[in-house]
């Protein structure tokens, strides 16, 4: 390709400029050391900051009303939450297998594992909807209390990511190559990881 820079810079002293020749690979500032597409890691880092901020906000808000939070928390179904933890952990395992399969160029196998991952994601969402359903039936909504506002927001944001994750898995299943599969499953693992932190903070601590 022709040089992009304005031609003016090609003075006779251009030898003085010490452009270090840039290899394309070091251009992501280290992100390329991580599996999958570096931009996915920009997203993952951003997501972790957001969820982290929400969990800390939740803890801070709890200081203001420990009894109220504990009381509201009694309405949460910890067994459902625990089951969902298991579901997501298992889906994460399947995602690992999908990556292993594509490394062996076993596309069909890879897709099967991705499908398994996605099915468990759907199970997670169904359990989540059942949880929301019982809350709503009990007259508990988004604005019932600070606890429930944050509960719905945080778990809702998380569930939304599961939905997006399903989309991502679908897309990489259509174009399965190593980078794509690693990128898609990295997003999925992030969702998994966020949940194992959300669960104790919102469901268990009191």
- Of residues 63 through 102, those in contact with other proteins by CB under 8 A are 63, 66-67, 70-71, 73-74, 78-79, 82, 85-86, 89-90, 92-93, 95-97, 99-100
Residues 6+ away with beta carbon under 8 Å from 141? 135, 148, 152
> If you count them, how many residues does the chain have?
206
The answer to whether residues 159 and 179 touch, using CB atoms and an 8 Å cutoff, is: no
Residue labelled with tokens 């394309």: 24
In the complex, least distance from residue 52 CB atom to other proteins, rounded to whole angstroms: 6
> In whole angstroms, what is the distance from residue 78 CA to residue 56 CA?
21
**Residue 139 binds to other proteins (criterion: CB under 8 A):** no
- State the Cα torsion 113-119-123-125 to the nearest 10°: 110
Distance CA 34, CA 41 (A): 8
Q: Applying CB under 8 A, which of residues 12, 15, 34, 173 lies at the interface with other proteins?
A: 34
Q: How far is the CB of 109 from other proteins (least distance, A)?
A: 12
**Nearest-10 Cα torsion for 36, 41, 44, 49:** 160
Contact segment (CB under 8 A) with other proteins among 109-117, 130-138, 159-167, 196-204 equals 196-204
Cα(166)–Cα(169) distance, integer angstroms: 5
Site for other proteins in 43-62 (CB under 8 A): 43, 45-46, 48-50, 52-57, 59-60, 62
* Separation between Cα atoms, residue 23 and residue 28, nearest integer Å: 10
Can you say whether the dihedral through the CA atoms of 14, 15, 17, 21 is positive or negative?
A: positive
Q: Which is nearer to other proteins, 37 or 111 (CB)?
A: 37
Among 39, 126, 138, 171, binds other proteins (CB under 8 A): 39
Q: Is residue 204 part of the contact set for other proteins (CB under 8 A)?
A: yes
Using rule CB under 8 A, residue 171 touches other proteins: no
**Minimum distance from residue 154 beta carbon to other proteins (Å):** 9
Of positions 12, 22, 108, 137, contacts other proteins by CB under 8 A: 22
Looking only at residues 103 through 122 of this chain, which bind other proteins when binding is defined by CB under 8 A?
A: 103-104
Residues touching other proteins, count (CB under 8 A)? 86
State yes or no: residue 149 binds other proteins (CB under 8 A): yes
């Amino acid at each position: 390709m022709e040089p992009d820079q304005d031609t003016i810079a090609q003075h006779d002293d251009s030898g003085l400029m010490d452009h270090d020749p840039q290899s394309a690979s070091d251009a992501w500032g280290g992100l390329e050391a991580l599996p999958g597409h570096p931009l996915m890691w920009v997203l993952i880092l951003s997501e972790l900051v957001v969820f982290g901020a929400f969990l800390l906000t939740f803890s801070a808000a709890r200081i203001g009303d420990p009894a109220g939070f504990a009381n509201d928390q009694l309405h949460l179904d910890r067994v459902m939450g625990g089951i969902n933890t298991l579901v997501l952990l298992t889906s994460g395992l399947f995602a690992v297998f999908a990556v292993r399969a594509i490394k062996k160029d076993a596309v069909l196998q890879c897709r099967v594992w991705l499908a398994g991952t996605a099915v468990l994601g759907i199970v997670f969402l169904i359990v989540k909807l059942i949880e929301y359903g019982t809350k709503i039936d009990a007259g508990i909504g988004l604005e019932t209390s600070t606890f429930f506002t944050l509960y719905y927001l945080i778990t809702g944001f998380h569930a939304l990511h599961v939905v997006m994750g399903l989309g991502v898995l679908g897309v990489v299943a259509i174009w399965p190559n190593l980078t794509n599969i690693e990128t898609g499953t990295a997003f999925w693992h992030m969702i998994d990881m966020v949940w194992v932190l959300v669960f104790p903070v919102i469901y268990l601590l009191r």
